[in-house]
Chains A and B, each alone.
Chain A
Amino acid sequence: MKKTIQRRQFIGTSLVAGAAVTLAGGALLRSGAALADNVAGWPAKAFDAKALDQAMAASVGKNNVPVSPKVKLTAPTIAENGGAVPVTIEIDSPMTADDYVSTVWLFVDHNPTPLASQFDLTPGLGAAYFQQRIKMAKTDNVRVIAKTSKGEFMASAPREVKVTIGGCGG
């Protein structure tokens, strides 16, 4: 926890220092990440963001992404246990070398840190289909954003899950 606080302080410092020293801030972030033993390449800034718009800006790079029926997100309407909510992501894509889904982001709007997962795909995978279980702090919206190799962004419709017992204890 102490190490995490140090990392947060580094982020704070780099934010205060402003855009002019973004590179230096990045270096600090990396050294902070080393203290916290973050895995190399793990996008700490996006995962540490505490509000949905900040998390989206730090990952997707924008906040307004049009909803597309090609991005399907399945989740239960009611989850008794917010500690393990099953979600299925399925994106309609040819997954060929010149037209494939390159990145998928999964968000929970009001979790303490809204970005839950990021998937980086290659065309060799052949399908954009994922299933996993996530924690939800309370009744909230889950949403998916996908980026294609052509630079196109598509969002799922936000999907509300009613949570009976929040999953933050886990």
Chain B
Amino acid sequence: MADNIGNPMIRMANSAKKGEMVEVRSLIMNPMTTGLTKDKEGKPIPAHFIQTVSVTFDGAKLLDIDWSTAVSANPYLAFKMRAEKSGTLKMVWKDNQNGVWSAESKLTVS
């Protein structure tokens, strides 16, 4: 079940004008199981899901997200940020089984 997990990706423009809104799109592989379902042998499938996503820009906090098991498998997340200065956007995903993944993307602001 957990053979295909992690592989976080961020897609966003690498340059923007100051003040412009930049759309950040992200994807990570995770089963996002609820703990409420059973496998074919009737054994409960344990809950395994990403609980937090944190977004920073050059180390400064931008956004913190808490997720429940109601977020779909292999979670997609898009958000918008205002381009203020050049720097590095970093996202960190953590799941309830001690999984931690991160991805970065550079933005040049002119």
Contacts and interface: CB of A to CB of B under 8 A. Distances in A.
A126 B36 contact: no
A143 interface: no
A83 interface: yes
A12 interface: no
Interface string A117-142: 11111101111011111111000000
B98 interface: yes
Given A130-B77, A170-B32, A42 B51 contact: yes
Given A41-B52, A131-B77, A125 B68 contact: no
A127 B80 contact: yes
Nearest to B67: A117
Contacts of A52: none
Interface residues of A, number: 43
Given A130-B77, A132-B75, A116 B70 contact: yes
Contacts of A37: 96-98
Contact of B96 (A38, A84, A112): A38
B88 interface: no
Contacts of B97: 37
Contact of A127 (B45, B46, B82): B82
B81 A126 contact: yes
Interface of A: 1, 3-4, 36-39, 41-43, 47, 83-85, 95, 108, 111-113, 115-122, 124-127, 129-136, 167-170
Given A122-B61, A169-B37, A170-B32, 12 more contacts: A1-B47, A4-B35, A4-B46, A37-B96, A83-B73, A117-B70, A122-B60, A129-B79, A131-B77, A132-B78, A135-B72, A167-B72
Counting from the closest, the 6 A-B pairs by CB-CB distance are A126-B82, A127-B80, A131-B78, A133-B72, A116-B70, A129-B80
